[in-house]
Structure 1
Amino acid sequence: MEIIQLTHPVQHDEKTIKELEIRRPKVRDHIWLEHQESSALREGKRLADVEKDHKLYARLTDVPEEVIGKLDMQDWGKLRKFYLGCVTPSVSSDQKTETD
């Protein structure tokens, strides 16, 4: 878990949110996201990448999607930086994966 201090706090349910606690993503989170995308497709909708990120960040911070939607782009960038740091392989990793 990491605490992300919001440069621009947001209001939600008469509360000021000044920080978000975010956890590292798990494989199950990506499976869940695939299910969300499949569900949208069945309804004739396509989720844009930013919408998928929006849903995932809400899940990883355990806040309503509405809170994530209110974030300033600078604070969104902090969430994105944390997430990308979790899913980017280290430079020293030379192992091949099944998708390489």
Structure 2
Amino acid sequence: MQTITLNNPITIDSTSISELTLRRPKVRDYLAIDRLDGSNLAREVALTANLASVTKETIEELDIVDYVKIQEVLRGFFPSQRT
């Protein structure tokens, strides 16, 4: 698990959110998003919401700077590939 402190906290249903904790993804997480329609970004948002145990709408409210931080954490969950 990794906790990301938000540069720009958000408020959802009168609750302030200043950090999100993402758990490591499992194969079942990828199978779930593979079944979804939509763009790659929409699938990534759904995956992020699932890993953080929040709604997609919560992820959609994030400032782009904070979302980029989350994307970096997601990339860190996967070993780099060598060609």
TM-score by length of 2: 0.92
CA RMSD of aligned residues (A): 1.5
Partner of 1:27: 27
Partner of 1:81: 72
CA distance in 1 between counterparts of 2:57 and 2:40 reads 17
Identity of aligned residues (%): 31
Matches within 5 A, 1:1-100: 1-36=1-36, 40=37, 47-89=38-80
- The CA deviation string for residues 5-34 of structure 1, in whole angstroms up to 9 with x for no partner, is 000000101011000010111111101111
**Rg (Cα) greater in structure:** 1
- The count of residues paired between Structure 1 and Structure 2 equals 83
* Structure 1 stretches of at least 4 aligned residues deviating more than 4 Å after TM superposition: none
Amino acid at match of 2:65: Q
- The CA deviation string for residues 20-77 of structure 1, in whole angstroms up to 9 with x for no partner, is 01011111110111122xxx3xxxxxx1111111101000000011110000001101
TM-score by length of 1: 0.77
Amino acid at match of 2:35: H
- How far is 1:89 from its partner? 2.4
